[in-house]
Each structure stands twice: as structure tokens, then as C-alpha cells.
Amino acid sequence: MRSNMFFLLVLGLTFPLSGVSQEQTTIDASRIFGDLSARHIGPALMSGRINDMEVHPTNPRIIYAGTAGGGVWKSNDSGTTFNPIFDDYCQSIGAVEVDPNDPDNTIYVGTGETWTRNSVSLGDGLYKTTDGGSNWKKIGFEKSERIANVIVNPNNSQEVYVGVLGALWGDSEERGVYKSSDGGATWIKLLYVNPKTGCADLAMDPTDPNTLYASMWEFRRTAWSFESGGANSALYKSTDGGATWNKIHNGFPEGKLGRLAIAVAPTNPEVLYTVIEAEKDERKGLYRSNDGGANWEQLNNDFGITVRPFYFSRIVVDPKDENVVVKGGLSGSISRDGGKTFKNLGNMHSDIHDIAFSIKDSDIMYVGTDGGVYRSWNGGTTMEIVQNLPLSQFYHISVDDAEPYNVYGGLQDNGSWYGPSSSPGGVNARDWKSAGQGDGFRVLKHPTKPIIYSEMQGADNVWRIDTERNLIKTIQPQPTRGVEKLRFNWNPPMAISAFQPDRFYMGSQYLHKSEDMGDSWEIISPDLTTNDPAKQNQEASGGLSVDNSGAENHTTIFTIAESPLDENVIWVGTDDGNVQVSKDGGKSWTNTVANIQGLPANTWCYHIEASSIDKGTAYAVFDGHTQNDMNPYAFKTTDYGASWTNIINGEVEGPVRNIQEDYVNPNLLFLGTEFGLYITLDGGQSWSKFTNNMPAVAVHFIDLQKRTNDLVMGTHGRGVIIIDDISPLRALTPEILDKNVHFFENSPTVISETSNFSGNFGGETEFVGPSKTKNVQLKYYLKKRHTFGKMSMEIQDMEGNKIVEIGPGKSKGINIVNWNYTRNVPKVAKGKTFTFGGFTAPQVPAGTYKAVVKKGKDTYEHSFELVYDKNSPLSKADRDMKNRITMELYDMVQELAYFVYEMDEMIAKMESDGNKKMLAKLNTLKESLVITTGDNYVGSAEPQLREKMTNLYSKVASSYDKPTKADFDNLQLITERFDKAKADYAKLKKKIKGLEGISLMSFETFLESK
Amino acid sequence: MRKLSFILSLILLFLAVPAQAQSVDEILNNYFENTGGLDQWKSLEGIKMNAKVNQQGMEIPLEIIQLKDGRQMTTINFQGKEIKQGVFDGEVLWGHNFMTMKAEKNDAEATANFKLETNDFPDPFIDYKEKGYTVEFMGTEEIEGTETYKLKLVREPLTIDGNEEQNVSFYFFDTENYVPLAVQSEIRSGQAKGMTQEITFSDYQEVDGLYFPFSMTSGLKDGPSNPMSFESIELNPQVEEAAFAFPEEIVTEEKN
């Protein structure tokens, strides 16, 4: 009773809170997205970065890939194809571990990639499934950020070790080696050094689960520097299940150490390999121990072994041979003499992060690279790419206004590309065209000319590509007398203008403007950054191994936006936290960041969106993760930055990368975050995560294609993802949300008369992104899911004549029903075989139609319009003729069907009457009407009237064009033959007695019958 | 401070209550109760369903027969020709080849897997314990904007391409009325192997005291789906026994 009282008290405490929030004019968008679903178009041809490969311990068909930004993928066919199994959770993966005691069911996924380049994403803990990946549960390590290893004791599923690398951008105590003795329910920390040193690698002696090796790494990244190594990096061994640890450095180099890898040879656990990052170059490289780590000998310090230890530090030993060792690297290296000498792995995408040998045959290898998973069948000599991993990591995307529109974007380590948003047969690898080298970032289409701008890291090259004439030149701003050295971000901003098609902006610390497509440049701003010299010392970056790739360039402009309403209003955001605005085309600038309340100093301004509805309005989002601040920040101004309002709340998780305002409804906003897409319908008072076929992937850039209202996202790990036509969201108001059924307005749908040959053999294992539908889409809102009673939908002409019946959607929220503007196929005469022409469904003519929904006792109607393509070569008269002849043939096919039905009834009657003479005559006539022998393939019989008629029907109905003279000639032949058959039959019929004994269905009933 | 954390933990407990309160058997009992009663479901001998699939311009009529002893048959009508698919006589699984329109047997593995479903008429959850199945409550999940209870059903293991695999499916029961709104399961063979199939149910209507979904869709989870609607459902139908048997082809000598 007392506890009941307590509950009431608790209830009383919680109710007022929910009451308050309901009083505001928020629109809860959760559970209303319904059929609005994301469409993935890849590309997969260059795939994306892989962090960890894992094989099943007993089933060689099963392989897992833990990817840097695209989740966990599972192959059931020995690596031929993969499917995603972790879409609802953080997509940045550190380690995948299959429990060797329960390998079909129990899998652990440690999130947070561990090859700590500048652009790495973030993890959010350790996950476990006990049903092979259908359901996942987070089991801790929320603040771990990066998990390097998970190891399950091969004799005891309850014992799990986790190596936590931990936070990259700041101090954290959630690092080191942890152990669970209850399958992950509780954890104890076994090995911890300090808040800057994490576990970079963990290994277990396969014959003695109490023997463990752990490499600890001191490391830190800021937005402007990287530091690998320190006095605290070390290699440890435990022989008591992690209770005590000892350094095993006998034979190691002197001084500070950097990132170390550790591997135990499965066939001889006394043999260990480590790769050491040391102070002196000559002491770096591969070391081997033959006595379980008591003594070490340096074997090799080739480039392939020592290159970029923070990025490549994986050693894998052949499970069948302790002397075959593979090391990740720029190309990947393999030794067959126990580590003394190495050669490169075969040609594949560079930057090899992990290698897994097949459990069955060590000739078969799976290799994870910056460009996807590769397979080898011959011990690593030749490599082939897995073609269905759309893991491309976009930094930025843009769209043009072509039909279908193209998507442009730059990729991590994979250049720049553009491809169509839809393509015949789906968006294939071959649809994508290359538009730049190196790491690709921003790619923009010239508003009116066949010109593309693209770039590589640090604006080392900015290309202007004439795609029509295949002419390329570089146009980046260059050093000028009297101007300080230009500082470009690794991901340098560019922008075009809605007013001057040839105008082109770029940002260093200054804003550069060109009015002639980059041929000449003018600096139109002072240094807009903080110009903090402490953040400009990139030559010293890297720690024990200098790493001055340009990736740490800082105090630079990162985002540029010219208002689409006023070319003199220009916004600039910088990576060191300034938000600058000019209202006079760059003559004067105001830094407005001080007007933003609640934003920590120097937080990276990731994107500014200048409103297309009000010119004083803009949105700015900030990403604090490089300051170890994982909070979301999004603000709105309506007064050119004089004041800013927070438009985000506790519903959004993780750093924000981008924001997109709808062109029509200013309360409809889209937010790209590190963990997915969020949508608000109320200007940011409440946000809902969009999860319909949308993984929790980092959304780096969002664009809204104006003509189609398609939301196009550049994700950093799952390629380009599109939500087709978001306009229903625009229309959702509290009034509409309160209606039981509401149809959204359709703009007229163009009847597609185009067709293509998209035959593609050899692409069976290739990723193909679905194209946007060309169907008319009927969209309606249901307040509640329809579960009980009948609900149907018919398409009718405006006179109420039924054209087709369609299965309606029943979801709560937005439903989308497709109709391909055809009526049903004609009913054809029954023969021995199919007549394939009879499977053609004729398109209806352009005009106004209505969808009629019957739901219980209620009827809802919605009219919509179909129109012809204005660019079609057909005149109205041509089209009328085509439709008339098509329907003449359609009716003739059905008339023949009824005719044959009647004859069949007659034949049955003659059979029962024993009238053999008449039976023979009727059968002879029927044999001239339909095929009565053979099969549907090469055993087919000579075509008869039915086949000829349906073929002509199909030919005329399927053609975009009006019927030809040949068609008319053929039609005449067929008509004559049919007329003759009818006359012959009429003559026979006169001779038959007892006709009254036959009762025939009416023509209408016959059409409705099976 | 301790008091505050106590209250907080109570709040958490309270929030957890609605989900925890549902046991597997409560959900299943409510489901059977709300759809006609377990006894009536158990006494069902067979069903015959007349359905149609609308495939953009093609309205394909289907007749589906399922019997308590495991026999099944789907008859599809194309251009007046009957094509049988998924016909199971208790031992042989067969269907018509679309090219020759002659009956062909399915492969042995598919037949063996099909035979495992013999004891699942009319619903696999009936007497699931006696059948050795396990059912686990997985919490609540949203299906088509509606809150559902998610149950995991594990049936007899299947044999796939020579390997034994667990036969797992997930059922989603509407929290309001306990009828299933969807089933998800992994696709086991073919090019889509490894992807998740989703079947949804709606338009529940009564037939002689039992409730059946008169509309279904099937497709890939999060992908496009095909609707199928039922025009009529007949309970305990009369069937032609011979129709289930595999028609062995009889070799006849041609007379000259």
C-alpha cells in the first residue's frame, strides 16, 4: 500500500511536466512519417572506409565488416555480397566480435572507429545481440567514443574483455582494458593509465584465455593538431586474466612510444608480433617475440610497416602459419618469412586497415580499406572489390536542376563524383562520373552552363570542368603580393550565387569572390577568423611521426552563403567559431557570434543556411566535437545576427553538421547530425528522428531539390540518401493532423512515355540504387492505422467509372500509393499457352481522375491530373489516334475472349451430346483462333488469331508513337480474319440443335470472372 | 540525495511498467481471445481464401487452401490458365513450371523445410510450448506508426544450402487490440538472402466467429511491398483430395 502511495506521488510529479509541454504549439512529428522513406543511391563503386573485418569461427560463408561510418555488414556468401545489420545504431564501428561459443547468435559491436584520422566519427558504446543481429542492446561504455577490441573467452561466453581506446579530442577516464564475467551485464576496469592513454590493441592467447596482451597509446587530436606518442604508451601482458599487468619491453626502442599493435600467432602462441611507433625512425617497425613477449627482436622497418601508425596499425597472422604475417598500411604488406621481409598486397584501393583470413583456406583473404572490402583468392596477390557496399563518405553534396537531377559531391579519400538521382534500371556504378582527385569535398554545378567546380584537400586544386567539351583547368585563389599566406581548410568552402551565374566564392581566412568563374579573384573581406597563431603550427603536427597532410589546417572559413533573396547579404562561418555577416556585398563585416547565447567559445561553425523566405533570417549549426563537446547546436536569427535563438532541444543527439530550411514552410527544417536525420514541423520546438530506411548515419550535408522537393543527403558512410518529395510534411498543420483522412494535393503528374533497355548481365552482385518512381503518387494522411474492417481504393474517371482497384496504405501518418496510370490488362481468350502480348496494360489518356477510398462506411475522394510530356513529339491528334486504336484492339481482344468462351461451352455441349461431326468442325475453327498445343517456351505452337491480335495490341499500346501504316494493314488483316471466324461460327451455330440448353454468362460477368 | 535517487529509480521503474507487465502468454491469450477464442481456432480444419494481387495493371486472382494436416495449395489464374504453386500433399512439395505448365517437384531441402510447418496450422503460436517452440517478449516497437508488442518466435531449425539455421520470426501485436500487424523474418535463400522480409496485416474481419486479416502486404522491410487482398475466406472447406497429389507424368505411346 505504501508503495502504491509512492507511485501516486511519482505520477503526480510526472504529470504536470507533460502538461506543460502539451500547452505549447508544438507539432509532434513522430509516428507520422508513414510511407515517406529514404532511397539509397550509393555510389558503391568506390565504397568507403572499413575499420574491422571479422570471420565466423566455424562457418566460412559468414563474414562481417565493421565500417568507419556505415555500420556493420554481414555476408552470408563468403564475401560475395553484404547486408547491413546495424542500421538503427551508431554507424561508426570500432570492433566486431563473434562469440566463439555461440557464433550464430551472439555478436558484440564496439562503436567508434579507431583509425583516428581528422574526419573520424564517434562511437556511443558497446552493443550485443543474442539473435544474430536482429535485435541489439547497448551494454555500456556510453562515453567510450572508440572501442578497439572485444574478445570473448573461447571457453566461456560470460567472460568478455574490451579494449577501449577512448576519447580522441579530450581527456576521458573511460579508457583501458575492461572485463565482464557476466556476459556484459557488469564491467570492471582492469588496466588504466591516465586520461590521455587508451587501449589501442588487445589480444588473447588462444590456448590460454588468462594470457592477454594490451597496447596502451597516448594520443590526442585537436582541430589544428595531432599528437601520437608519449611516455605512457606501452605494451603490457597479463597471465592472470587481467588482474595484474606487466610491461614487456625487453628489446623495445628507447624513449617515448606511439601506437603499438599486437598479434599472437594462432598456431604458436609463443610467437608475437608488434609494430612500434618510436622516436627514432630506424627503431620503428615490426618486432617479433618467440617467447611470449619476454624478448623482442626488430625485424623490419620498411615504409609499408612504419607508415602513419595512427591510421595503419593492424597485424594479422595467418591462422595456419605463424610465419605468414600481414600488416595494414598504405598498400598493405605480407611476409612469408616470419616478418623479415614484406611485399605489398595486390592492387586495390589504398589505406588498408584490417585483413581477415578465411577459416577454411588461407589463400582466401578479406581486406578492409579506405575504399571498401576486397577479396583475394590467391593469398593477397590479386584483389577484387565487393561491389555492393554503398559506404561512400560524402563531405558535401549539391544538386542541379536537370531532369532527372544530378547529385554532386566529394568523398573521403575517393575523389569527387556526380551521378543521376534516377537512372533506367536503377542508379548503377556506371552512372557515376568522376569529377576530381584526392580527397573530394565540395562540388558545385554552374547554375546555367555545363560547368562543374570541384576541389581537393586544402584547395590544392580547384577544378573547373567543362563537361560538354571535356576541358579542365584549375582556378584556385593563389598567393598575391601584399596578401598574407592563404589558409584553406582541409575541406575548403565554395559557393555560387543565385543572382550572377558566373559568380564563384571561395573561403581561406578571407572571402574570395570571382565574377568570371574563377579566372580572376578579388578578396572581399578582412581575415574573418580568430587568426589565432597557436592554431597555425601544422608542420609540428603528428607527434612521434610527423603528419602534416593539411588535414589540421585551422582558423579558416568553413561555410559561405549568399542570400538567395539579396546578393549583398553574405554569411560566413569559420572553423574557429566566428559567424560573420555582410549586408553590403562584402564591404563591411560584422561578427555576430557574441550574440549567440549558450554556445561555447570557438565552436566550429559547420554550416550557415541563408533563408530563402526572409532575407534577415539565417540558421547556423555548430559542431563542437573537436573540442570534445558532443552537444548539438543550432540557432536561428531573423535580424541578420543581431540576436540568435536556440532551435534545438534534448530530442537531438550528437553534433550537428547541417541544416536545411524548406523553401515554402519556414517551420519545416531538416537537421543533419552525427547520428542521423531529424525533422521539425514547428520551427525547432520539437524534433523527430527520421528512421524510415534511414540509418543512424552521419549526415554531413543536406540539399532540397527545388523542382521535385526531394531532400538529398550526403552521408559520411552510406552515400547519397534521398527522401523523395517531402511536400506532404510541408502541408501538415495541427488541423490536418486532427482529420481522420486527409489527401495531400498532387501537382499534375507527367505520363512517362520513355522506356529504355537496361539489360545488365554481370552486375548481379553490384549495388543498384532504386530510381524515383514515375508513377502518380496518391498521398494521404491517416490519423490512426487502419486495422479492422474493409478499406479499399479505386481509381475512377470523373464520371465514376472504375479504372482499377489499388491496395491502399493503412499506416498511421503519411501513406503513399503508386499508380502507373494503366488500366488492367485485357481479358484474353483461353488457350493452351499464354499469349504474352496480353500482359500489356494500356496507359490511360491524360486528364483528371479521382482516387476513391472506402474506409468502413466512409468514402473519401481526391482528384488528380495526368498530363503529357510537353517535349513529346506527338500531336494531340496523334495521341488520340494511338489511344483509340489501342482501345479498339483492347476491346477486340476481350471480344475474342468471350467468343472463345462461348465456343468452349458449345464444344462441351457437343461432347456431352456426342455430336462428333459438329465437334470436329468447332474444334477446327477454334484451332484457328487460339493455340491449343505446345508450351510457353521453345515448344510453342504456330501463333493463331489470339496471338496475332494480342501482339498487335501490345505493339500499339507499348509504343510511344501513333500506329504506323504497317500496324493499320495488320489490323485490317486481323479484323477480317476475326470477322470471318465470327461468320463461320454463325453458320455452324445455325446447324446446331438444342442451343437453349446452354446458358452463357453475359459479357460483363465474363469479364469479371477468373 | 539518497532519497532523490530513490525517487528517480521509482520513476524509471514506473516508466518501465507498461512494457514489463506484458508476458508472452498474456499477449497470446489476448490475441486468441480477441480473434475468436483459442478453442475455435484449434477446432479449425482448414481454410480456403480467394485473394487477388494487384500488380500495376495486372489483377491476379489466387486461391489458397490450407488444411490442418499441413496440406496446402495456391492456385493462380493467368489468362484463364490455372497455375499451381506451393502445393504440398504432406510429403511432396510441387508447383507448375511457368514455361511448360507441367508439375515439377521442389528441391528436397525446400520440401523438408515446408514439412516443418505442418504443425503450424492455423497459427504457429497455438500450443507453441508443446511443439518445442520458444517465444520471447522483446519489448514494444512501432509498426506503421502504431505501438506494438514484439514477440520472437523460434521454430524447428531449417536446413539452408546444407547448413542448419535457426528459424526465427518476429511478430508485432497491436498494443491496443492484440492482433498481429506485421511479421518480420530473414530471407533464407536466393539473391535477397540475409535481407529482412516484412508482411503486414490489416482489414481484420470476422468469418464465422474468427477474425482474419483481409489485406496483407509483403516486401522487404523498409522497401516497396505488394498488396494482396482477400475477397472471401471459407472455413473448413470441401476439398478435392486428388488436387494435392503430385501428378506423375504418364508416358503414353503414340499410335500411328
Q: What is the pLDDT of residue A585?
A: 97
Test A34 with B144 for CB contact under 8 angstroms. Answer: yes
Angle A945-958/A876-913 helices, nearest 10 degrees? 160
Contacts of B224 in chain A (CB under 8 A): 770
Q: Residue B4: is its pLDDT beyond 50?
A: no
Nearest CA in chain B to A803: B57
Q: What is the pLDDT of residue A234?
A: 98
Contacts of A818 in chain B (CB under 8 A): 56
In the beta sheet, which residues pair with residue B85?
Answer: B74
Distance to chain A for B92, nearest Cα, Å: 24
Angle A916-927/A965-991 helices, nearest 10 degrees? 170
Test A807 with B186 for CB contact under 8 angstroms. Answer: no
What are the sequence ranges of the domains in chain B? 23-236
Tell me the HSE value of A658 on the side-chain side, using a 13 A CA sphere: 26
Residue that the C-alpha cell 558484440 belongs to: A108
Test B98 with A10 for CB contact under 8 angstroms. Answer: no
Angle A916-927/A876-913 helices, nearest 10 degrees? 160
Q: What is the pLDDT of residue A14?
A: 33
In the beta sheet, which residues pair with residue A723?
Answer: A38, A711
Percent of chain B with pLDDT over 70: 89
Rounded CA gap, A1006 and A996, in Å? Answer: 19
Strands A188-191, A365-369: pairing is unpaired
For chain B, give the longest Cα–Cα distance: 103
**A to B CB pairs, distance under 8 Å:** 155
Nearest CA in chain B to A61: B163
Percent of chain B with pLDDT over 90: 76
Amino acid identity at A751: I
Test A132 with B57 for CB contact under 8 angstroms. Answer: no
pLDDT tier, B224 (very low <50, low <70, confident <90, very high otherwise): confident
Contacts of A949 in chain B (CB under 8 A): none
Test A813 with B165 for CB contact under 8 angstroms. Answer: no
Q: Residue B22: is its pLDDT beyond 80?
A: no
Of B57, B98, B144, the CB nearest to A810: B144
Test A936 with B98 for CB contact under 8 angstroms. Answer: yes
Test A787 with B181 for CB contact under 8 angstroms. Answer: yes
3-state secondary structure at position A984: helix
pLDDT tens column, A400-419: 999 999 999 999 999 999 99
pLDDT tens column, A97-150: 999 999 999 999 999 999 999 999 999 999 999 999 999 999 999 999 999 999
Contacts of A770 in chain B (CB under 8 A): 224
Contacts of B142 in chain A (CB under 8 A): 31
Neighbours of A22 (CB within 10 A): 9
In this prediction, the residues of chain A whose per-residue pLDDT falls under 50 are 1-23
Q: What is the pLDDT of residue A290?
A: 98
Mean pLDDT of chain B: 89
Q: What is the pLDDT of residue B254?
A: 47
Of A37, A791, A841, the CB nearest to B203: A791
Q: What is the pLDDT of residue A1009?
A: 87
Which class for A157: exposed (0-12), middle (13-18), buried (19 or more C-beta within 10 A)?
middle
Q: What is the DSSP string of A597-666?
A: TT--TT-EEEEEEE-SS-TT-EEEEEE-GGGT---EEEEEESSTTSS-EE---TT--S-EEEEEE-SS-T
Test A785 with B144 for CB contact under 8 angstroms. Answer: yes
Nearest CA in chain B to A936: B99
Test B194 with A76 for CB contact under 8 angstroms. Answer: yes
Mean pLDDT computed over B88-113: 94
Test B59 with A807 for CB contact under 8 angstroms. Answer: no
Test A813 with B14 for CB contact under 8 angstroms. Answer: no
Test B100 with A813 for CB contact under 8 angstroms. Answer: no
| Domain B23-236 fold | outer membrane lipoprotein receptor (LolB), chain A (2.50.20)
Test B14 with A693 for CB contact under 8 angstroms. Answer: no
Cβ atoms of residues A262 and A287 within 8 Å: no
- And the C-alpha cell for A996? 437453349
pLDDT tier, B195 (very low <50, low <70, confident <90, very high otherwise): very high
pLDDT tens column, A509-557: 999 999 999 999 999 999 999 999 999 999 889 999 988 888 999 999 9
Rounded CA gap, A179 and A186, in Å? Answer: 8
Of B59, B193, B229, the CB nearest to A76: B193
Q: What is the pLDDT of residue B45?
A: 97
Test A818 with B168 for CB contact under 8 angstroms. Answer: no
Cβ atoms of residues A289 and A280 within 8 Å: no
With a CB cutoff of 8 Å and minimum separation 6, the contacts of B82 are B75, B76
Mean pLDDT of chain A: 95
Q: What is the pLDDT of residue A942?
A: 84
Distance to chain B for A392, nearest Cα, Å: 21
pLDDT tier, B251 (very low <50, low <70, confident <90, very high otherwise): low
Contacts of A819 in chain B (CB under 8 A): 56
Contacts of B77 in chain A (CB under 8 A): 1010
Rounded CA gap, A834 and A881, in Å? Answer: 28
Test B144 with A790 for CB contact under 8 angstroms. Answer: no
Test B177 with A787 for CB contact under 8 angstroms. Answer: yes
Mean pLDDT computed over B141-145: 95
Cβ atoms of residues A180 and A190 within 8 Å: no
Q: What is the pLDDT of residue A13?
A: 34
The residue of B140, B174, B203, B218 whose CB has the most chain A CBs within 10 angstroms, and thus the best one to mutate to test that interface, is: B203
Distance to chain A for B80, nearest Cα, Å: 5
Which class for B10: exposed (0-12), middle (13-18), buried (19 or more C-beta within 10 A)?
middle
Of A76, A812, A936, the CB nearest to B144: A812
Q: What is the pLDDT of residue A240?
A: 98
Cβ atoms of residues A228 and A544 within 8 Å: yes
Cα A673 from chain centroid? 14
The residue of B3, B55, B76, B79 whose CB has the most chain A CBs within 10 angstroms, and thus the best one to mutate to test that interface, is: B79
